[in-house]
C-alpha cells in the first residue's frame, strides 16, 4: 500500500511483516537448533583439545565429560590453550553471557561453566578424600572432580 502526498512529494510505504506462505515459528526453531548444534560442536572440540593437553581420552558428547580433575583443568597449559581458542569460541557463543576473570586460577572452569549454561548444561564437582595417615598424622588432601551434566 502506498500513500502519496502532493504537498511535500514524499512517499510513505506500509510494509506487512507477515510474509506470505512462511512459517516464521518453524524457521526460528530451525535456526535455534542450528545455533545450538554449532555451540555444542564448538565446545566439544574445545573440550577435546583441552583433553589432549592432559592426555585424556576424547569424548563424543559433552555429558561424557565426567570426573575430570580440577588440577588438570586449571593447568597453565590448558589456560593458555583456552585463551588461544577464545576468538573461535566467541564467534559462536555470546561473550556477554560469559563470566570470567583471566587473572583467576579457575579461569578455564569459570568460562566452561558459563559456556555450558548457554547449552542448558551445568558443571558440577564432587570431592574425593585422598587423606592419608603417615606416622599417626593425618595428611588431609581433597581432590575436586568436575563433570558436565544436564540442568
Cell matching residue 82: 583456552
Residues 23-72 have pLDDT tens digits of: 889 999 999 999 999 999 999 999 999 999 999 999 999 999 999 999 99
Report if pTM > 0.85.
no
In a domain, 7, yes or no: no
The secondary structure element, H or E, covering residue 142 is: strand 142-150
In a domain, 18, yes or no: no
- Contact in structure between 95 and 39 (CB atoms under 8 Å): no
Residues 4-14 have pLDDT tens digits of: 444 555 555 55
In a domain, 14, yes or no: no
List Cα–Cα distances, 4 to 13, 15, 16, 115, in angstroms.
9, 15, 18, 52
Residues 124-151 have pLDDT tens digits of: 999 999 888 888 888 888 999 999 999 9
Q: Is the pLDDT of residue 3 over 50?
A: no
Grid cell 588438570 is found at 72
In a domain, 117, yes or no: yes
For residues 9 and 113, give the distance between their C-alpha atoms in angstroms, rounded to a whole number: 58
In a domain, 1, yes or no: no
In a domain, 4, yes or no: no
Determine phi and psi for 36, rounding to 5 degrees.
-60, -40
Q: Where are the beta strands (DSSP E) in 21-119?
A: 68-69
Structural domains in the chain (count): 1
- Expressed as residue numbers, the domain containing 135 is 24-150
pLDDT at position 68, please? 96
In a domain, 15, yes or no: no
In a domain, 9, yes or no: no
Amino acid at each position: 500500500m502506498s500513500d502519496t502526498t502532493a504537498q511535500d512529494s514524499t512517499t510513505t510505504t506500509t510494509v506487512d511483516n507477515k510474509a506470505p506462505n512462511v512459517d516464521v515459528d518453524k524457521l526460528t526453531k530451525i535456526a535455534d537448533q542450528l545455533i545450538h548444534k554449532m555451540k555444542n560442536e564448538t565446545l566439544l572440540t574445545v573440550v577435546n583439545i583441552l583433553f589432549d593437553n592432559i592426555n585424556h581420552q576424547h569424548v563424543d558428547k559433552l555429558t561424557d565429560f565426567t570426573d575430570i580433575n580440577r588440577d588438570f583443568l586449571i593447568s597453565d597449559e590448558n589456560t593458555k590453550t583456552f585463551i588461544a581458542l577464545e576468538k573461535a569460541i566467541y564467534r559462536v557463543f555470546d561473550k556477554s553471557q560469559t563470566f570470567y576473570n583471566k587473572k583467576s586460577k579457575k579461569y578455564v572452569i569459570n568460562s566452561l561453566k558459563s559456556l555450558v549454561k548457554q547449552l542448558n548444561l551445568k558443571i558440577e564437582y564432587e570431592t574425593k578424600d585422598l587423606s592419608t595417615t603417615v606416622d599417626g598424622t593425618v595428611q588431609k588432601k581433597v581432590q575436586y572432580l568436575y563433570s558436565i551434566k544436564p540442568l
